[in-house]
Amino acid sequence: MLSFRSVFAGTLRQEDMGGGALITALWLRKSAGHVMLNPLRLSPFSSSRRTVFGLSASRCGLIQRKMTENGVASRRGKVLTIDTLNPCVKKVEYAVRGPIVQRALQIEKELKEGAKKPFSEVIKANIGDAHAMGQRPITFFRQVLALCSFPDLLDDGSFPEDAKNRARRILQSCGGSSMGAYSASQGIDCVRQDVARYIERRDGGIPSDPDNIYLTTGASDGIVTMLKLLVCGEGQTRTGVMISIPQYPLYSAALAELSAVQINYYLNEERCWSLDISELRRSLAEARQHCNPRALCIINPGNPTGQVQSRQCIEDVIRFAAEEHLFLMADEVYQDNVYADGCQFHSFKKVLFEMGPEYSDTVELASFHSTSKCYMGECGFRGGYMEVINMDPEVKEQLTKLVSVRLCPPVPGQALMDLVVNPPQPGEPSHANFLKERSATLSALAEKAKLTEQILNTVPGITCNPVQGAMYSFPQITIPERAVKEAKEKGQAPDMLYCMKLLEETGICLVPGSGFGQRDGTYHFRMTILPSTDKLRILLDKVKEFHQCFTQQYS
Amino acid sequence: MLSFRSVFAGTLRQEDMGGGALITALWLRKSAGHVMLNPLRLSPFSSSRRTVFGLSASRCGLIQRKMTENGVASRRGKVLTIDTLNPCVKKVEYAVRGPIVQRALQIEKELKEGAKKPFSEVIKANIGDAHAMGQRPITFFRQVLALCSFPDLLDDGSFPEDAKNRARRILQSCGGSSMGAYSASQGIDCVRQDVARYIERRDGGIPSDPDNIYLTTGASDGIVTMLKLLVCGEGQTRTGVMISIPQYPLYSAALAELSAVQINYYLNEERCWSLDISELRRSLAEARQHCNPRALCIINPGNPTGQVQSRQCIEDVIRFAAEEHLFLMADEVYQDNVYADGCQFHSFKKVLFEMGPEYSDTVELASFHSTSKCYMGECGFRGGYMEVINMDPEVKEQLTKLVSVRLCPPVPGQALMDLVVNPPQPGEPSHANFLKERSATLSALAEKAKLTEQILNTVPGITCNPVQGAMYSFPQITIPERAVKEAKEKGQAPDMLYCMKLLEETGICLVPGSGFGQRDGTYHFRMTILPSTDKLRILLDKVKEFHQCFTQQYS
Q: What is the pTM of this model?
A: 0.85
- Asked if the Cβ–Cβ distance from A398 to B82 is below 8 Å, we say yes
- Of the residues B79, B191, B403, the best mutation for testing chain A's interface (the one with the most A CB atoms within 10 Å of its CB) is B79
Q: Would residue A249 count as lying in a domain?
A: yes
Q: Do B132 and A221 touch (CB under 8 A)?
A: no
Helix axes A393-404, A218-230, angle to 10 degrees: 130
Partner residue facing B38 (CB), from A179, A231, A361: A361
A66: Cβ contacts below 8 Å, ≥ 6 apart: none
**Closest residue in chain B to residue A225, using alpha carbons only:** B89
A-chain residues within 8 Å CB-CB of B174? 131, 380
> What's the CA gap between A233 and A291, in Å, rounded?
9
* Extended strands (E) in A246-286: 261-266
In this complex, do A408 and B380 lie within 8 Å of one another by their Cβ atoms? yes
Kindly state whether residues B255 and B322 are assigned to the same domain.
yes
A322 with B78: Cβ contact below 8 A: no
Query: Other C-beta atoms within 10 Å of A79: how many?
Result: 25
Give start and end residues of each alpha helix (H) in B389-510: 393-404, 411-421, 431-457, 481-489, 494-506
Domain enclosing residue B508, as ranges: 95-133+435-554
Please check whether residue B90 lies inside any domain of the structure.
no
The C-alpha of B525 sits at a distance from chain A's nearest C-alpha, in angstroms, of: 19
pLDDT given at position A95: 72
- Distance in angstroms (rounded) separating the CA atoms of residues B433 and B376: 14
In whole angstroms, what is the distance from residue B368 CA to residue B478 CA? 35
Using pLDDT thresholds of 50, 70 and 90, give the confidence band for residue A42: very low
A174 neighbourhood in chain B, CB within 8 Å = 131, 380
8 Å CB contact of B134 and A179: no
Contact across the interface for B178 and A137, Cβ inside 8 Å = yes
- B428 lies in some domain: no
Number of separate domains in chain B: 4
Same domain for B196 and B308, yes or no, is: yes
Residue A150 falls within a domain, yes or no?
no
Strand partners, B215: B385
- Could you please report the per-residue DSSP string of A58-126? HHHHHHHHHHHHTTSGGGSS-SS-TTTS-HHHHH---GGGSHHHHHHHHHHHHHHTT---SSSS-EE-S
Contact at CB, A217 and B257, closer than 8 angstroms: no
Residues B216 and B322 in one domain: yes
Domain with residue A246: its CATH number is: 3.40.640.10
Rounded distance between C-alpha atoms, residue B487 and residue B503, angstroms? 16
Cβ contact B79–A327 (<8 Å): yes
- Which positions in chain A touch B131 (Cβ < 8 Å)? 174-176, 178, 180-181
Of all residues in chain B, the one with the smallest CA distance to A139 is B150
pLDDT band at A98 (very low <50, low <70, confident <90, very high): confident
Sign of CA dihedral B388, B391, B393, B395: negative
CATH number of the domain encompassing residue B150:
1.10.287.1970
Nearest residue, CB atoms, A404 vs list B94, B145, B232: B94
Check whether residue A39 and residue A109 sit in a common domain: no
> Is B325 close to A76, i.e. CB distance below 8 A?
yes
Closest residue in A to B394 (Cα) is A82
In this structure, what CATH number is given to the domain that contains residue B492?
Answer: 3.90.1150.10
Q: Indicate whether A341 and A258 sit together in one domain.
A: yes
Is residue B429 domain-resident?
no
Please judge whether B137 and A31 are an interchain contact, meaning their C-beta atoms are less than 8 angstroms apart.
Answer: no
- Characterize the bridge pairing of strands A383-389 and A462-463: unpaired
Which residue, among A76, A182, A280, A360, would best test binding to B if mutated, counting the most B CBs under 10 Å from its CB?
A182
Residues of A in contact with B40 (CB under 8 A): 358, 362
Residue that terminates a domain, selected from A51, A85, A119:
A85
Q: Indicate the length of chain A as a whole number.
A: 555
Lowest mean per-residue pLDDT among A45-59, A502-516, B494-508: A45-59
Chain A residues within 8 A of B127 when measuring between CB atoms? 182
Q: Tell me which chain A residues have a C-beta less than 8 angstroms from the C-beta of B376.
A: 180
Is A358 in Cβ contact with B41 (below 8 Å)? yes
Does A191 reside within a domain? no
ipTM of the shown complex: 0.84
Preferred mutation among B149, B250, B258, B328 to probe A, highest tally of A CBs within 10 A: B149
Contacts of A343 (CB under 8 A, 6+ apart): A308, A468, A469
Is A230 a domain residue?
A: yes
Whether A413 sits inside 8 A of B409 (CB atoms) is no
To the nearest whole angstrom, how far is the Cα of B41 from the nearest Cα of chain A?
Answer: 6
Same domain, A356 and A216: yes
CB contacts, 8 Å: B49 with chain A: none
Q: In chain A, which residues have their Cβ closer than 8 Å to the Cβ of B377? A: 180
**Chain A environment of B72 (Cβ under 8 Å):** none
Are A256 and A353 contained in the same domain? yes
Is the model more confident about B27 or about A140?
A140
Nearest chain B residue (CA) to A173:
B132
* Chain B nearest-CA residue for A211: B32
Q: Find chain B residues with C-beta within 8 A of A411's C-beta.
A: 380-382
Which are the contacts of B37, defined by CB distance < 8 A and separation ≥ 6?
B26, B28
DSSP letters along B336-383, please? T-B-STT-----HHHHHHHT-HHHHTT--EEEEEESSSTTT--GGG-E
Q: What is the per-residue pLDDT for A178?
A: 97
Task: Tell whether B31 and B176 lie within a shared domain.
Answer: no
Cα angle value A517/A523/A529 (rounded, 5°)? 80
Give me the percent of chain A exceeding a pLDDT of 90.
79
A334 and A362 in a single domain? The answer is: yes
Secondary structure element (H or E) that encloses residue A490, with its range: helix A481-490
**Residue A473 near residue A464, CB atoms below 8 Å:** yes
The DSSP output letter for A268 is B
Strand partners, A31: A34
Answer whether residue B427 is part of any domain: no
Write down the mean pLDDT value for chain A.
Answer: 86
Q: Where are the beta strands (DSSP E) in A187-238?
A: 213-217
Cα angle value B383/B387/B389 (rounded, 5°): 170
Supply the pLDDT for residue B143: 98
Cis before A304? omega within 30: yes
Do A119 and A48 lie in a common domain? no
Q: How far is B252 from chain A (nearest CA, A)?
A: 10
Least Cα distance to A119 among A445, A517, A464, A535 occurs for A535
**Average pLDDT for residues A180-204, to the nearest whole number?**
96
Partner residue facing A149 (CB), from B93, B149, B217:
B149
Dihedral sign for Cα atoms in the order A169, A175, A181, A184: negative
Mean pLDDT split into 10-residue runs, chain B, 555 residues:
31 31 29 32 31 32 36 63 89 78 91 93 91 95 98 94 97 95 94 97 97 96 95 90 95 92 96 95 96 97 95 96 97 96 96 96 97 96 97 94 90 98 97 97 96 95 96 96 95 94 95 92 95 94 95 93
CB nearest to B79's CB, from A36, A127, A364: A364
pLDDT of residue A198 exceeding 60:
yes
**Strand, helix or coil at A28?**
strand
User: A283 and A233 in one domain?
Assistant: yes
The CA R_g of chain B, rounded to the nearest whole Å, is 27
C-alpha distance from A178 to closest chain B C-alpha (Å) = 6
3-state secondary structure labels for all residues of A304-340:
CCCCCCCHHHHHHHHHHHHHHCCEEEEECCCCCCECC
**A355, A376, A410 — which closes off a domain?**
A410
Q: At what angle do helices B411-421 and B189-202 cross, to 10 degrees?
A: 30
Per-residue pLDDT reduced to its tens digit, B51-91: 333 333 333 333 333 333 333 333 478 999 999 899 888 88
Chain A residue nearest residue B1, CA to CA: A392
Contacts of residue B222, Cβ cutoff 8 Å, sequence gap at least 6: B214, B216, B366, B368, B384, B385, B386
Q: Which residue of A has its CA nearest to B156?
A: A158
Contact A101, A509 (CB under 8 A): yes
CA-to-CA separations, B38 to A356, B5, B33, B76, B250, in angstroms, rounded:
11, 16, 15, 16, 42
Query: A265 with A362, same domain?
Result: yes
pLDDT of residue B94: 77
Residue-wise pLDDT for B424-451, tens only, equals 999 999 999 999 999 999 999 999 999 9
